[in-house]
Amino acid sequence: MIRVFIGFDSHETVAFHVLAHSIHVRASQPVTITPLMLSQLKKVFLRERNALQSTEFSFSRFLVPYLSGYEGWSLFCDCDMLVLDDIAKLWALRDERFAVQVVKHDHAPPEQIKFLNQPQSKYAKKNWSSVMLFNNAKCKALTPDYANTATGLELHQFKWLDDDALIGEIPHRWNHLVDYDPPAPIEDLSLIHYTEGGPYFEAYTNCGYADLWIRERDSMLTAG
Domain extents in the chain: 2-222
Give the C-alpha separation, 97 to 111, whole Å: 36
Verdict on whether the full-model pTM lies above 0.85: yes
pLDDT at 166: 98
Phi, psi for 61 (deg, rounded to 5): -55, -30
pLDDT band for position 109 (cuts 50, 70, 90)? low
For domain 2-222, the CATH class is alpha beta
**H-type alpha helices, the chain:** 13-24, 64-67, 87-91, 144-149, 152-156, 210-222
For 161-187, write each residue's pLDDT tens digit.
Answer: 999 999 999 999 999 999 999 999 999
pLDDT of residue 48: 86
Q: Give me the pLDDT at residue 154, please.
A: 95
Cβ pair 64, 78 in contact under 8 A: no
Band of pLDDT at residue 5, cut at 50, 70 and 90: very high
pLDDT 10s digits, 57-72: 999 999 999 999 999 9
Q: Residue 117: is its pLDDT beyond 60? A: no
Question: Percent of the chain having pLDDT more than 70?
Answer: 90
Residue 126 has pLDDT above 90, yes or no: no
End-to-end CA distance of the chain: 25
